[in-house]
Chains A and B, each alone.
Chain A
Amino acid sequence: MPVIDLANPTRFLNVVNRVLLWLIAATLILFAIGLYRAMNAPDDYQQGATVKIMFLHVPAAWLGMFGWGLMSIAALGTLVWRHPLADVAGKAAAPIGAAFTFICLVTGSLWGRPTWGTYWVWDARLTSMLVLLLLYLGVLALYWTAEEPGRGARAAAVLSLVGAVNLPIIKFSVDWWNTLHQPASVFRMGGSSIDPALLTPLLIMALAFTLLFLTLHLAVMRNEILRRRVRSMRLLQSQKLAEASA
């Protein structure tokens, strides 16, 4: 990697180091408010206390999908502008997005046990989230197997874009295949169908989750940049050693 490519990441690192603590603090405060409001939210007349799982489940689902969106945008940066920071952004988003998708599936399954009477059903939304998780795992496997970071990043970028094209098709085909999950209820024509007493904590939690995602993403990006620097330093050092011994 040429040294000039590190110039921009250095400025990026400075910014990250400055804002990261504030972001962590803001995330913690929002989580405190959101969890407090969520715990004191009224029980649902049908679902009882299990409705509170929704405060974790729904934001995790949103951010699981947001992660793939972020990877697709980063993929454009990688393929079109060949920007090393875009490589790092895409790589950092993959494990976080996978983790949120996993949280969404686990909380959904814990909610499904008392409500639907089973941990898992092959319902359209569950299945498309499962396929999303499988796609995330595929991208992670691609990063693991790539020997050289740049090559792996470009391969993963193409896969992210192919996934971005395919995810709506998968979603639509799975909907056609089987549907049991309740339809979208927060964002829809004619206003939300959720009571404000539940909606406000949900939105606060969504904001807190988004901040958590961004905080983690910046921290992982910082670590990845540092890891690549260590790698290129090691390569330079071994090159020097080889030259000295030759």
Chain B
Amino acid sequence: MSAFASLLGRDMRLSVRVGGGALMGALFFLVVVSMIPFAIGPDLALLARIGPAILWLGALLASLLALDRLFATDYEDGSLDLLMMGSMPLELAVATKAIAHWITTGLPLVIIAPLLGLMLNVDLHSLGWLALTLAAGTPALTFLGLIGAALSVALRRGGLLLAVLVLPLTVPVLIFGVAATNVAIVGPAPFGPPFTILCALSLASLVLGPIAAAAVLRHGLE
């Protein structure tokens, strides 16, 4: 447990320090979402209708772009080798890194989402629901992206490859995330089913992502 806590603390400290880029994802999210109205025009009714979709797409892209450096810096300075040789199971170490990554890059997205929702004319009472669905769904994006991050460090190819590999896998998260948000804002269908499926997707990817990423690292970096 202490290994878990110290790895979590280390990763979080590293990402808030210089060169860590913890808030870069949130900044990217803000920029992307503010670009959309320039493309489709300042029609508030239209923005309110497609608002949840824009916010989810923005969050998806922001969390993917931040994943690029998840293993790369550790690989460059050799600490990834130490993690792989250490007594902590690699799956757990990888999951810890992903959790730290979500806290530093995913959570800021959830926190600024209500503000962006306000700009997209989302109803004031629904902003809490919007943040809740993002909080339930963005861990799934991080844990699925973890596989892509491991693949790109094992092959020493980053950037676009990661997005090409991971984006198709996130289709279910996008569908149920937008569905839950839409239901929370407009109704009339019950909020429960899409939201619980979204939680289930996050939990399932919490299991699948670290196992697959650890397998990639073990097979790729020997």
Residues of A participating in the B interface, judged by any CB pair closer than 8 Å:
79, 131, 134-135, 137-138, 141-142, 145-147, 151-152, 154-155, 157-159, 161-163, 165-166, 169-170, 172-174, 176-177
Q: Known: A131-B168, A134-B168, A151-B154. Is A162-B220 also a contact (CB below 8 A)?
A: no
Q: For residue B172, which residues in chain A have a CB less than 8 angstroms away from its CB?
A: 166, 169-170, 172-173
A170 to chain B, nearest CB (A): 5
Number of interface residues of B (CB under 8 A): 26
**9 closest A-B pairs by CB:** A173-B172, A154-B219, A134-B168, A138-B165, A145-B157, A173-B175, A158-B216, A135-B168, A177-B175
Which of B157, B165, B197 has its CB near the most chain A CB atoms (within 10 A)? Answer: B165
Q: Which of A131, A154, A170, A177 contacts B220 (CB 8 A)?
A: A154
Q: For residue B216, which residues in chain A have a CB less than 8 angstroms away from its CB?
A: 154-155, 158
A-B contact pairs, 5 of them (CB 8 A): A158-B151, A158-B212, A159-B147, A162-B208, A174-B171
Are A170 and B155 within 8 A (Cβ)?
no
Are A158 and B169 within 8 A (Cβ)?
no
Q: Which of B168, B176, B197, B220 contacts A155 (CB 8 A)?
A: B220
A163 and B148 CA atoms in complex are apart in Å by: 12
**In the complex, chain B residues 150-199 whose Cβ is within 8 Å of any chain A Cβ:** 151, 154-157, 161, 164-165, 167-169, 171-172, 175-176, 179, 197
B120 within 8 A of A: no
A96 to chain B, nearest CB (A): 19
B201 within 8 A of A: yes
B57 within 8 A of A: no
Are B169 and A166 within 8 A (Cβ)?
yes
B24 within 8 A of A: no
Q: For residue B53, which residues in chain A have a CB less than 8 angstroms away from its CB?
A: none
Q: Is the interface of B mostly helix, strand, loop or mixed?
A: helix
A125 to chain B, nearest CB (A): 14
B215 within 8 A of A: yes
Q: For residue A162, which residues in chain B have a CB less than 8 angstroms away from its CB?
A: 147, 169, 208, 212
Are B161 and A141 within 8 A (Cβ)?
yes
Q: Which of A146, A151, A163 contacts B169 (CB 8 A)?
A: A163
Q: Which of A79, A141, A177 contacts B219 (CB 8 A)?
A: A79
A152 and B216 CA atoms in complex are apart in Å by: 10
Q: For residue A142, which residues in chain B have a CB less than 8 angstroms away from its CB?
A: 151, 155, 161, 165
Are A155 and B151 within 8 A (Cβ)?
yes
B53 to chain A, nearest CB (A): 13
- List 18 other contacts, CB 8 Å, given A163-B169, A172-B172: A79-B219, A131-B171, A138-B164, A141-B161, A141-B165, A145-B157, A146-B155, A147-B156, A151-B155, A155-B216, A158-B212, A158-B219, A162-B169, A162-B208, A166-B169, A170-B168, A170-B171, A176-B175
Are B176 and A173 within 8 A (Cβ)?
yes
Contact with A along B201-222 (1 / 0, CB 8 A): 1001000100010011001100
Are B175 and A151 within 8 A (Cβ)?
no
A174 and B175 CA atoms in complex are apart in Å by: 8
Q: For residue B208, which residues in chain A have a CB less than 8 angstroms away from its CB?
A: 162, 165
Q: For residue B215, which residues in chain A have a CB less than 8 angstroms away from its CB?
A: 79, 158
Residue of A nearest to B154 (CB): A155
Q: Which of A158, A176, A177 contacts B147 (CB 8 A)?
A: A158
**In the complex, chain B residues 18-52 whose Cβ is within 8 Å of any chain A Cβ:** none
B57 to chain A, nearest CB (A): 15
Are A145 and B161 within 8 A (Cβ)?
yes
Are B151 and A159 within 8 A (Cβ)?
yes
Q: For residue B176, which residues in chain A have a CB less than 8 angstroms away from its CB?
A: 173
